[in-house]
Amino acid sequence: MNRSFKFHLNNKVIFSILYLYFLITSFLIIPAGDDFFWWGKPGHYLLTHHFYGLDSSFGGSSNGRYLGNLLEILIMHSSIFAAIFYAGIITIFIWCLWYLTGRTRVSLTMALAFFITLQSGYIQSIFMWFAGFVNYLPPITLPLLYCIMFKKYIKTNYSSPTAFFFLMSFIGGLFVEHMTLYQIFVGLLSIYFLKIWNKRKNNNLSKNIVYAYTLGAVSSAIFMFVNPAYYFSRNEYRKVSFSLDKYFESYVNTTHFG
């Protein structure tokens, strides 16, 4: 048997086992905190009121994380959906780490060992808590996938990848605020990189996909931040400020573990 074919076959088996492992793990996760909020009446109210409510008891859950909130509700009402989504996102995340680091046996080992490099607080708050997982891992996975797709489609002018890149960043911006803004930075950085690359290499690589990705990121940010919760909420957790001092104060003092 060809060694390369055997290596790829083994990779498929490993990722299949990985998916099955996290599929089973999802049924062992005990809902806590915000999980019950989204499962109950408050979650239903926000779902039917565009995720905005004046009741202070909603706290930070009144926000523009439209897709993250919706997926959290679905997860809490369907263990089957939760298992498929949870296992799928983690498997794709690890696959992206492996792909971007060379697709070798060593990179596969390092990607699989990712979880033992994290502090326990992150594991508990992201991988062992649905409310944390659904808002944090998908929007991190999508930019990783963007990097892979960027390399694959940068030399094409097809319209379908362009639409896909727009949709990828638009979806990725509806989970958590800092990733929504980070996507815009990634898009602008991609445009700048491509411009420099074309100039230095005398190439004429298409900018369609990076423009589409950036446009999707900007559109997603607008869609998220028009939610009134960021401006009229009684809870400081979601309030938007245009003060640099406030930005740094939030960055230094706001943490899930402090």
Q: Enter the DSSP assignment of 29.
A: P
In the prediction, which pLDDT does 252 show? Answer: 65
Of 224, 129, 211, 219, residue with least CA distance to 174? 224
How far CA 117 is from CA of 93, 123, 221, in Å, comes to 15, 10, 31
Those residues whose C-beta lies under 8 Å from the C-beta of residue 92, and which sit 6 or more positions away, are 141, 145
| pLDDT tens sequence across 132-159 | 999 999 999 999 999 998 888 777 656 5
* Helix-helix angle 177-201:208-225, to 10 degrees: 160
| pLDDT tens sequence across 56-82 | 778 778 899 999 999 999 999 999 999
In the prediction, which pLDDT does 4 show? Answer: 58
In the prediction, which pLDDT does 199 show? Answer: 80
| pLDDT tens sequence across 205-217 | 668 889 999 999 9
| pLDDT tens sequence across 92-111 | 999 999 999 988 888 888 89
Those residues whose C-beta lies under 8 Å from the C-beta of residue 84, and which sit 6 or more positions away, are 23
Ranking 8-12, 38-42, 64-68, 175-179 by mean pLDDT, the lowest is: 8-12
Those residues whose C-beta lies under 8 Å from the C-beta of residue 36, and which sit 6 or more positions away, are none
In the prediction, which pLDDT does 17 show? Answer: 94
In the prediction, which pLDDT does 189 show? Answer: 93
In the prediction, which pLDDT does 205 show? Answer: 67
In the prediction, which pLDDT does 10 show? Answer: 81
| pLDDT tens sequence across 150-189 | 888 777 656 568 889 999 999 999 999 989 999 999 999 9
Of 93, 185, 97, 70, residue with least CA distance to 140? 93
* Helix-helix angle 79-100:3-26, to 10 degrees: 140
Whole-angstrom Cα Rg for the chain:
20
pTM of the predicted structure, to 2 decimals: 0.86
**Average pLDDT across the chain, whole number:** 86
* Helix-helix angle 208-225:130-153, to 10 degrees: 160
